[in-house]
């Protein structure tokens, strides 16, 4: 005897519907076949970021890929005005310190060298910040940031692949 797929009640053979709940019984050849649920396929999983064909998980937040319309990467260049100003002032102190060095006072020259070196160190430490933006019907949202461009490029590529593979 077939059983109801919805409530589990035994249904008489040949019955088109369950007498208990009205659903089609299991084993009824007239019932349309249900499509098999597609398995989730992981595309990217690194450093706490997971991208699959159905969801995107980052920073404890989960986004449904069904709602994502597009993705983009952007780079924010840091301001380097401060370090450049420090290097210019350091250079001026170095030039002024040459005269004081001749008079036996190296303090101004040392201060200039330190200021220039500090400005140069900060200048080199300032790197771009790369971000991932998701676009959906509700707008644009920044979801990831990193100073490593390759990591952000991999996330964007995986998200684009997920958008294409979801159909």
Q: Can you give the pLDDT at residue 34?
A: 42
Q: Where are the domains of the chain?
A: 1-34, 42-70+138-165, 81-125
Q: Can you give the pLDDT at residue 140?
A: 92
Q: Can you give the pLDDT at residue 71?
A: 93
With a CB cutoff of 8 Å and minimum separation 6, the contacts of 126 are: 78, 79, 80, 83
Q: Can you give the pLDDT at residue 117?
A: 95
Say if CB 83 and CB 119 are below 8 A apart: yes
**Which stretches of the chain score pLDDT less than 50?**
28-37
């Amino acid at each position: 005897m077939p059983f109801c797929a919805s409530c589990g009640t035994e249904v008489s053979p040949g019955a088109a519907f369950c007498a208990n709940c009205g659903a089609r019984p299991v084993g009824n050849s007239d019932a349309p076949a249900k499509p098999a649920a597609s398995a989730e396929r992981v595309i990217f999983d690194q450093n706490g970021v997971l991208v699959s064909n159905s969801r995107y998980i980052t920073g404890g937040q989960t986004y449904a890929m069904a709602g994502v319309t597009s993705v983009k990467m952007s780079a924010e260049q840091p301001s380097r005005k401060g370090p450049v100003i420090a290097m210019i002032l350091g250079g001026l102190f170095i030039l002024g310190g040459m005269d004081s060095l001749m008079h036996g006072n190296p303090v101004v020259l040392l201060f200039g060298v330190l200021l220039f070196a500090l400005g140069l160190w900060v200048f080199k430490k300032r790197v771009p910040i790369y971000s991932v933006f998701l676009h959906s019907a509700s707008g644009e949202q920044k979801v990831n940031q990193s100073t490593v461009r390759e990591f952000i490029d991999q996330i964007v590529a995986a998200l684009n692949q997920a958008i294409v593979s979801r159909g």
